Amino acid sequence: MAIRRILVANRGEIALRIIRSCEALGIETVLAASKADLGSLPARRATRTVCIGPAQAAASYLKVPTMVQAALGTGCDAIHPGYGFLSERSDFARLCENEGLIFIGPSPDQIEAVGDKLKARAVAIEAGVPVVPGGAAETLADALKLGREIGVPLLVKAVGGGGGRGMKLVEDIDRLEETLALASAEAAAAFGDERVYLERYVARGRHVELQVLGDGAGKVVHLGERDCSVQRRYQKLIEESPAPCLPEGLRDDLRIAGVRFARHLSYRGAGTVEFLVDVDRGEFYFLEMNARIQVEHPVTEEITGIDLIAQQIAIAAGEGLALEQDDIRLTGAAIECRINAEQPARDFAPSPGRVAEARWPVGDGIRVDSHIEAGSMVPPYYDSMIAKVIAHGADRKDAIDRLRQALSGTSITGISTNIAFQAKLLADAEFAAGGVDTGYLARLGAREPTLFEV
Q: Give contact residues for other proteins (rule: CB under 8 A).
A: 2, 4-5, 25-27, 30, 35, 48, 50-54, 60, 65-66, 68-70, 73-75, 95
Answer whether 2's CB lies under 8 Å from 314's CB. Answer: no
Residue closer to other proteins (CB basis): 30 or 415: 30
| Cα four-point dihedral sign 54, 55, 59, 62 | positive
* Distance from the Cα of residue 240 to its chain's centroid: 12
DSSP string over 313-329: HHHHTT------GGG--
Give the contacts of 80 (CB within 8 A, at least 6 positions apart).
6, 7, 8, 9, 10, 18, 104, 309, 312, 313
Min CB(77)–other proteins separation in Å:
8
Q: Are strands 385-393 and 333-340 parallel, antiparallel or unpaired?
A: antiparallel
Greatest Cα pair distance, the chain, in angstroms, is 67
Residue closer to other proteins (CB basis): 26 or 449: 26
Min CB(64)–other proteins separation in Å:
8
Min CB(95)–other proteins separation in Å:
8
Min CB(75)–other proteins separation in Å:
5
- Let me know the angle formed at the C-alpha of 440 by 347 and 229, rounded to the nearest 5 degrees: 100
Residue closer to other proteins (CB basis): 4 or 232: 4
Nearest-CA neighbor of 158 among 168, 171, 144, 145?
168
| Inter-residue long-range contacts of 187-194, CB under 8 Å, 24+ positions, other chains counted | 187/158, 187/159, 187/160, 187/161, 190/158, 190/160, 190/161, 190/165, 190/166, 191/158, 191/159, 191/160, 191/161, 191/166, 192/160, 193/158, 193/159, 193/160
Q: Are strands 5-8 and 28-34 parallel, antiparallel or unpaired?
A: parallel
Min CB(38)–other proteins separation in Å:
9
Min CB(427)–other proteins separation in Å:
43
Residue closer to other proteins (CB basis): 5 or 195: 5
Min CB(5)–other proteins separation in Å:
6
Residues acting as catalytic residues = 292
Residue closer to other proteins (CB basis): 312 or 418: 312
Residue closer to other proteins (CB basis): 5 or 404: 5
Q: Would you call 329 exposed, middle or buried from its count of C-beta atoms within 10 A (0-12, 13-18, 19+)?
A: exposed
Q: Say which DSSP state 307 is in.
A: -
Nearest-CA neighbor of 390 among 305, 302, 287, 267?
302
Q: How far is it, in rounded angstroms, from Cα 30 to Cα 11?
A: 12
Residue closer to other proteins (CB basis): 16 or 68: 68
